[in-house]
Amino acid sequence: MRDWPALLLSFLVALAAWYSLRERTPVVERALSVPLQVVGLGQDQVAEGAPKEVFLRLRGPAPLVEGTPPVSAYLDLSGAEGAFSREVRVAVPQGVGVLEVRPARVEGRVEALFTRTLPVEVLAQGAWVRTDPAFVEARGPRSRVEEAVVALGLDQGGEAVPLTAFGPQGPLPGVDLSPSQVRVVAREAPLFRKEVPLVVKPPPGLKVLDYAP
């Protein structure tokens, strides 16, 4: 090849230009939160204890770190059954470093998805509310769905009432209801009303100073 000196010179010039441009590109740090993707589970499994997002601190060239960088975080639960403790993995562009991941490890439990029927109860002041439907389907982690006893809503005077799954200790996050709201078909006055005295018995050593009905 007679032109190899010219080709070599062109290559060296391009390399120098690339190196010069690289040196002029500022290196920055950035903190951001990204969704945590859970992979490796079956269709009828769910991960209890996995956060919705993780916090990342990145360092790299400004064009790759600023804006909306192509960064993803995921939790691989392949083969996990019952309790698990797995490291959060992060995928970043080449040239970008991960300085911090929080949480870096997630502990939780893999549970089977479970479905059961719950009765609907709508609370209304001075009225009894009939709804359509009167029962809904609850779906979520088995331990939470088995704890659910009622799909509860609060009547605000509208035609539709949103519902929340409740157990003996209160609302149950992570339990989805289908449908998630019901239609009010009737509001009826209670058959009777009776006032009864309120008796409060505090534990030994405590006394009631005040109360609100």
Among 90, 21, 18, 22, CA closest to 60: 22
Residues above pLDDT 90, as percent of the chain:
52
pLDDT tens-digit map of 37-72: 999 998 889 999 999 999 999 998 888 888 787 899
Where is pLDDT greater, at 149 or 64?
149
- For the 113-188 domain, the top CATH level (class) is mainly beta
This prediction's pTM: 0.61
From-to residues of CATH 2.170.120.30 in the chain: 26-103
pLDDT at 1 over 60: no
- Contact of 69 with 98, CB cutoff 8 Å: no
- Contact of 54 with 101, CB cutoff 8 Å: yes
Three-class DSSP category at 44: coil
**CATH number belonging to domain 26-103:** 2.170.120.30
Tokens in use for 193? 């009303």
Question: Can you tell me which residue has the tokens 């050593």?
Answer: 205
Tokens in use for 170? 């209160």
Three-class DSSP category at 7: helix
